[in-house]
Amino acid sequence: MHKKNLLAAMLLAVVALSPTLGRTASLINCKTRACYERLVDDYLAALVAHDASRIAFAADARFVENIKATKIGDGLWKSASALPTSFKIYVPDPISGQVGFMGVMQEAGKPILLGLRLQVFEGHVIQAEHVIARDLNAESLANLQTARPIFAKVTPASMRMPRYAIKGIAYSYYDALDFNDGELAPMGRDCERHENGRQSSGSRAPVTAKTPQPNYSAMDCTRQFSTGMMGYIDNIDNIRVLAVDPVTGLAFGLSHFHHSMKNHLFPIRGVPGVTQREVNNQPFDLPAAHIFKISDGKIHQIEAMGFLAPYNSPSGW
């Protein structure tokens, strides 16, 4: 074979083996919050178009979807069917070169809740991470029509917290949850948490005959954690608060909950007439994403999502 033809064949082989080479996507030159938000929109549009070549991935970019190392172009890249509409929360962080996102989109015509993280370095996406919650029920979807307005509310410049302080408070949330002590994290009395859309703390829903008792979901986050009602959580690892936005007071965190379920009865504190809680689940993990709204030194709102995985699953990283 002629040398020129041989070199051309070798180059084509390399490009075929590495789907991130030879692409024409523009380099990512993000220095502003708005640019990182546009990057998320561009990424989601590329997902729905099933065309990873629209995004400037690094040749050695890593992609993890639901804690599984995945080839770029597989997973949601093949099954995404419609863009997010009204439920969207962005956490742009030009300092770290990362952006977190949570939104409702469609996969194969069905709604899913997506937690997304992208990391950019030298003009390319070097890491992409998806956390996908499927099988959303009617109760969840009712709370996933529009993001709570407070998540987009801009904090006045004079009241903005330093980035490191927001990040530290977000990390403290996992301690409060892991050690069943709400006092380990500064959380406001108005702290309200949603999990896959379902309101799980700070609920003001009317009490009916069907409301479980004790009504843990009506408690604020501090009191709820301190009861020990989440004692079935053995530990939380792979905790990463990677995107922080002082302009809105948002922090985006990822984590991995482990539940061995070796015990099924857990002591309850501070609830009159209740001394224990019974949880009869089988062993499981819960990889999760959280977005925290933090202002005045306290956590006020939490949007959380995750999915069930086999107990002690690897993280994918």
Query: Closest Cα to residue 187, out of 198, 179, 196, 176?
Result: 176
SS3 string, the chain, reads CCHHHHHHHHHHHHHHHCCCCCCCCCCCCCCCHHHHHHHHHHHHHHHHHCCHHHCCEEEEEEEEECCEECCECECHHHHEEECCCCCEEEEEECCCCEEEEEEEEEECCEEEEEEEEEEEECCEEEEEEEEEECCCCHHHHHCCCCCCHHHHCCCCHHHCCCHHHHHHHHHHHHHHHHCCCHHHCCEEEEEEEEECCEEEECCCCCCCCCCCCCCHHHCCHHHHHHCCCCCCCCEEEEEEEEEEECCCCEEEEEEEEEECCCCCEEECCCCCCCCEEECCCCCEEEEEEEEEEEECCEEEEEEEEECCECCCCCCCC
Lowest mean pLDDT among 138-142, 203-207, 253-257, 295-299: 203-207
Averaged over 276-286, what is the pLDDT?
A: 97
Residue 160 predicted with pLDDT over 80: yes
Lowest mean pLDDT among 4-18, 32-46, 218-232, 288-302: 4-18
Phi then psi for 149, rounded to 5 degrees?
-55, -30
Tell whether omega for the bond before 214 is within 30 degrees of 0, i.e. cis: yes
pLDDT at residue number 45: 98
pLDDT at residue number 265: 97
CB–CB of 248/151 below 8 Å? yes
Averaged over 154-165, what is the pLDDT?
A: 98
Residue 21 predicted with pLDDT over 90: no
pLDDT at residue number 157: 97
Residue 9 predicted with pLDDT over 90: no
State both tokens at 114.
């997506």
Averaged over 40-60, what is the pLDDT?
A: 98
Counting residues of the chain whose pLDDT is more than 90, the rounded percentage is 88
pLDDT at residue number 5: 53
Averaged over 69-92, what is the pLDDT?
A: 97
- Measure Cα distances from 127 to 151, 227, 228, 241 in Å: 25, 38, 36, 15
pLDDT at residue number 17: 42
pLDDT at residue number 206: 77
Q: How many CA atoms lie within 13 A of 52 on its CB side?
A: 22
Counting residues of the chain whose pLDDT is more than 70, the rounded percentage is 92
> Which pLDDT band holds residue 2 (cuts at 50, 70, 90)?
low
pLDDT at residue number 11: 42
Q: List pLDDT tens digits, range 193-228.
A: 999 999 999 988 777 877 888 999 999 999 999 999
Q: List pLDDT tens digits, range 129-147.
A: 999 999 999 989 999 999 9
Averaged over 59-84, what is the pLDDT?
A: 98
Residue 14 predicted with pLDDT over 50: no
CB–CB of 242/98 below 8 Å? yes
CB–CB of 309/287 below 8 Å? yes
Assessment of whether the complete model's pTM goes beyond 0.75: yes
SS3 string, 11-70, reads HHHHHHHCCCCCCCCCCCCCCCHHHHHHHHHHHHHHHHHCCHHHCCEEEEEEEEECCEEC
Q: Using the structure block, give the residue that is written with the tokens 């993990």.
A: 285
Q: List pLDDT tens digits, range 81-125.
A: 999 999 999 999 999 999 999 999 999 999 999 999 999 999 999
Residue 67 predicted with pLDDT over 50: yes
